[in-house]
Amino acid sequence: MLADRVTLGLIVSEHLLPQSIAWSLCGGAVGMALDKLQEDFHFADFDLRLMIGYSECDLTKTLGLGIEYMLRQKADVVIGPPCPEAAIMMAHLSNIYQTAWMGWGYVFSPEFTLSNKYPYGTTLVPSSNS
């Protein structure tokens, strides 16, 4: 039997605010989350495909990665980029391609709470204790 495939696209940054949102600092959380999912749910027939692209929050690079992941690679979920201006663009792309999108990092705009405007999008905002 073929495994169920889930394709996850990540749009990340390494050099923009490297002390807080650099992929080399934050990327390990993805592996930890996958380990926890495997531990709790024992996905035997589960094939995860990760695509990681560096946009450095550049709008052109972000748009290119978003189109690549959502249109060409048919990603099930796209996460990132960790910056507000490029994240708004990704929220709009998620509507166009009807692809789940999650913003993280410095994506605090109340714009993202408009579920009627961005039905495929959500954000991950850390608490003040983070």
34 in a domain, yes or no?
yes
Does 87 or 109 have the greater pLDDT score? Answer: 87
Count other C-beta atoms under 10 Å from residue 11's C-beta: 31
pTM: 0.83
Q: Which residue has the tokens 């249109």?
A: 71
Q: Which residue has the tokens 């394709």?
A: 7
Per-residue pLDDT, 17:
67
What is the C-alpha separation between 118 and 51, in angstroms, rounded? 23
Confirm whether 80 is domain-assigned: yes
Count of the separate structural domains present in the chain: 1
The verdict on residue 129 lying in a domain is no
pLDDT tens track for 109-124: 888 888 899 999 988 7
86 or 129: which leads in pLDDT: 86
* Domain assignment of residue 43, given as a range: 4-123
pLDDT for position 43 = 74
CA 124 to CA 17: how far, in whole Å? Answer: 18
- Examine residue 52 and state whether it is found in any structural domain, yes or no: yes
Query: In this structure, what CATH number is given to the domain that contains residue 60?
Result: 3.40.50.2300
Nearest to 90 by CA among 1, 12, 16: 12
Domain assignment of residue 130, yes or no: no
Q: Which residues contact 108 (CB under 8 A, 6 or more apart)?
A: 84, 123, 125
pLDDT tens, position by position, 26-48 = 777 888 888 888 888 877 777 88
In a domain, 62, yes or no: yes
Asked whether residue 128 is assigned to any structural domain, the reply reads no
pLDDT for residue 130:
45
| Residue 93, pLDDT score | 96
Q: Classify 93 as helix, strand or coil.
A: helix
Average pLDDT over residues 41-62: 88
Do the domain assignments include residue 94?
yes
